Amino acid sequence: MVARKRTDDVDEGWQRVYKVVLWLKCDSAAVSQVGHAVCASLTSGHDPVQKVTLIPRGQARGLTWFTPDEDPSLISKQQIMARIVGALGGRAAEQIIFGTPEVTTGASSDLQQV
């Protein structure tokens, strides 16, 4: 997945994602994983997205993997904030697509990560 840097691309990207989600009527796991990947890719200081999957693993209905750029034991404030944005991106995507009453418990576990 390629990170987009310009703000006009961000709005255009979200519009495309929104149209695809409505067209496919994807479940909340797909929307959540797309939210994590998009928010992480657009946030400076976040590790690049390596892989997004909807194959259930354990209790998770989908996962987004990130490739660390540097030593993961020493992180800056910018990287911490970027990780928070990435973690909450799934919840934000669910709220945008389905509305606040339809946010799932999977998105609630994102809050526990933060």
CA distances from 112 to 5, 25, 56, 81, 85 (A): 29, 27, 20, 15, 13
**Mean pLDDT of all residues in 84-94:** 88
Mean pLDDT lowest for which of 18-22, 66-70, 71-75, 90-94?
A: 18-22
Q: What is the Cα Rg of the chain in Å?
A: 14
Whole-number average pLDDT of the chain? 77
Q: Could you report the per-residue pLDDT of 7-63, keeping only the tens digit for each?
A: 555 556 666 666 665 554 457 788 888 888 998 888 888 888 888 888 777 777 787
Cα–Cα distance for residue pair 67/20, rounded to 1 Å = 26
Task: Pick the closest to residue 110 from 80, 90, 95, 93 (CA basis).
Answer: 90
